[in-house]
Chain A
Amino acid sequence: MSKDHKPELRRSVTPWGSFSWGYSDVGADIFVGLGLVLGAAAGASNVAFLFAGIVYICIGLAYTELAATYPVAGGGQYFVLRGLGDIFGFIAGWAVLLDFTIDIALFAWSCVDYLSELLPIVSSTGHPWAHFALTIGLIIGLCLLNVIGVRESTAFNGFVSALDIVSETAILTLGFLFAFNPTLLVHTMQSSWPTPFEFMKGISLAIVSFVGLESISQAAEETQRPASIIPRTSIALILTILIFALSYANLALGMQTWHPIPLDAHGHAQLFWQYLGNTENNGKAVALIAKQVPYWGAIAAFYVPVLGAILLLISSNSGVFGSSRIAYAMSSGRLLPSIFQRVHPTFRTPMVSLFVFTAVALLEVVFAALPSLDPTMATLYAQHFNGESGIDFLGDLYAFGAATSYSFVFIALVALRLFDPLSPRKFKIPLNIPLRFRGERAEFPLIAVLGFIGIVAILIFTMITHPIGRVAGPLWILFGLGLYMIYRKRKGLPVLHSFKRDWRSEQTEILRRAGELELMDEYIANLKASEERRAEVNA
């Protein structure tokens, strides 16, 4: 082998591997999101999930088309950079970074919640300090594991994902078969319909259950035949998650419980959804539903908390790994200072990125845990933040980061359809308007507009209903933009404009590296035909 051979990521991720990379991230969301949405949207939780689910389908289709067309690591940040330029690429990447840090904090927090179902000593309400200490310990542990270069393997992800899908399908099918009462569902929806404010809050939190498609795009560079495989794995992931989310929401509202529901903190009787959505239980709602499934619940009560905790820990780890990878990619693209590319001398891992974003996640955990640790802080939060605390705060920011980055991805999709119509698209979102743009035939995606309206609505709901999210989220973006501008100015780089890049050569190289040789031929032929057309017009 010649010495100047450049190393490339090995394309070893199979269809199941690609699916499980996404599933181990998105699949964990319902374990957190269900309780939050039930607590906010009450009897309309299923409708909130449906609304967010429709937006999620649009997001999923957009990601699917983009990841299949541009199969490189980087995901949303790369698509926006390519479609809208450096500064918007930075904003999208910075919002994704926020989500990854929340990913670390929220899922580590929720992992401990699920464990507390078997180990009450770490319960967030009974023993807040133990809960806090274990969450912090898990995050630091994950960071150190990533610094020494230990990552969960695709095989392990695949195994846990398969186990979880079988388990969740069993819980839902047996739950609907033995314990679902349609009359109760209708009754709950009628009697517990939320106020518009609560409903908006529920919708903004429901999107939390669908965040993580990014992982499939992140692994695009390691996936076999990405242009063909990613559309399938993404669509399968979208459908699987949507089926689970809608089913859980409807089951929670219409379930005839196997065991009596405990009384609430004030000694009053409560409905099942109220029990799942209260502060004590909203971090472990899936485990509590599983426990109430007739017969199966006796087994599920033991293994679902463990399975949930493992899945949530994997998801938290994907936040640690993903944030460092995105920061590294942004630094390579000169969107962030080069310090984020600094690697550990022995382990060759991006230690600065790992430490910085883990530290941000730890700060978020501290901020989320303060009200439960100190009664004075609880009073302060109640006065200034509408009584929001802990997991709510993390959910707020998660929804904000996701909605921001997804909004830019929709705009980038439209821009790339218009400015890069020659790249072959193995998967194309349906419902397009054909048009001519700059002398080339292009297609305007209507679904992207629909998705954009939906995600902007969710962003507005987040800003209206989350007192912490509407302050902390934009502050994060502004802080990042300040950092970006200082860095670009110091380095003498364009601040508001972009570098000149040869996207055509890069696209050919991307398709060659992806092993999509037929698409590479098609792209080269498209370029040639386009040049011939231009030459004819000029002549």
Chain B
Amino acid sequence: MNEVLTGSIHPTIEGAVIALLIALAIGATLWWMLHPPASFVQKLAKEAENELERMVGSIIVVFSPDILSTHMMALAAKLARGERSELLAVYIVEVPYTLPPDADMPVEEREALDALGAAETIATNNGVSLRTETIKSRSTKQAVLDLAKREKANLIILGSFREGKYTGAPLGRTIEEIAADAKCDVLIGVEGKHGTLLYDEPTP
């Protein structure tokens, strides 16, 4: 019986139905297995990840003579690369009221060039595009808040440091005011070299 019918195909309706059922059953089983319901912890993690995506749509990294953000620029560049964010580095030159608003301030402007140059290098090394801007303003805080509004920023990144003494505003007055008044998220990176909490207490 077998030898007579070899070498040719004989599709049957029953065979076709079984073939279809096998493919569907295997596919459906594996799909079901790979899509388990999320646990409470996973839901929390997912919400945080979604929040991050919203948070890092547009990032501004702020520099000024009092805001040292170069190390945070490196972090911002990595974040922007991972999340494909828009990145803007801005240097605020605070103009004293004793000078006209557009007064030349060659020393500060030179410092701005250094800071923004370093920022561009970091961005290039990380493969992200960066816009840079230098702004002269009477108030650093107001300049940053206006810029954030204009750019519809999702995140402002600032670098700070501990001065090793309590001044009522340990992260710096300007930084704390920006953090208090900004309508978007603010990430402050505090350099830890003057901190004391990480030292192991010697056991008596």
Contact = CB atoms under 8 A, between A and B. Distances in A.
A232 B33 contact: yes
A188 to B, nearest CB: 10
B16 A239 contact: no
A180 B12 contact: yes
B22 A243 contact: yes
B14 A182 contact: yes
B34 A240 contact: no
Interface stretch (B23-31, B88-96, B163-171): B23-31
Nearest to B27: A169
A149 interface: no
A269 B2 CA distance: 10
B186 to A, nearest CB: 32
A493 B11 CA distance: 67
A54 B135 CA distance: 76
B19 A15 contact: no
A428 B181 CA distance: 54
A228 B19 contact: no
Nearest to A18: B33
A294 B9 contact: yes
B2 A261 contact: yes
What interface size band does chain B fall in? 20 to 34
A240 B23 CA distance: 11
B100 interface: no
Nearest to B37: A228
B10 interface: yes
A257 interface: yes
B97 interface: no
Interface on chain A toward B: helix, strand, loop, or mixed SS? helix
Given A15-B36, A240-B29, A515-B41, A173 B23 contact: yes
Given A176-B18, A225-B39, A260 B2 contact: yes
B6 A257 contact: yes
A258 B29 contact: no
A180 B34 contact: no
A182 B12 contact: yes
Contacts of B41: 515, 517
Contacts of A165: 26, 30
Contacts of B12: 180-182
Interface string A194-234: 00000000000000000000000000000001001100110
A518 interface: yes
B9 A271 contact: no
Contacts of B39: 225, 228, 518
B14 to A, nearest CB: 5
A179 B10 contact: yes
Contacts of A247: 18, 22
Nearest to A272: B2
Contacts of A184: 1
Nearest to A293: B9
Nearest to A294: B9
A180 B26 contact: no
Contact of B40 (A176, A240, A518): A518
Contacts of A179: 9-10, 15
A17 to B, nearest CB: 11
A174 B19 CA distance: 7
Nearest to B34: A15
B199 interface: no
A256 B36 contact: no
Given A232-B33, A239-B25, A257-B6, 13 more contacts: A16-B34, A176-B15, A176-B22, A180-B14, A229-B36, A232-B32, A232-B36, A236-B30, A240-B26, A256-B2, A261-B2, A271-B2, A294-B9
13 contacts: A15-B33, A19-B33, A169-B22, A173-B22, A176-B15, A178-B10, A178-B15, A184-B1, A229-B36, A236-B29, A243-B29, A256-B6, A259-B7
Interface of B: 1-3, 5-7, 9-12, 14-16, 18-20, 22-23, 25-26, 29-30, 32-34, 36-37, 39-42
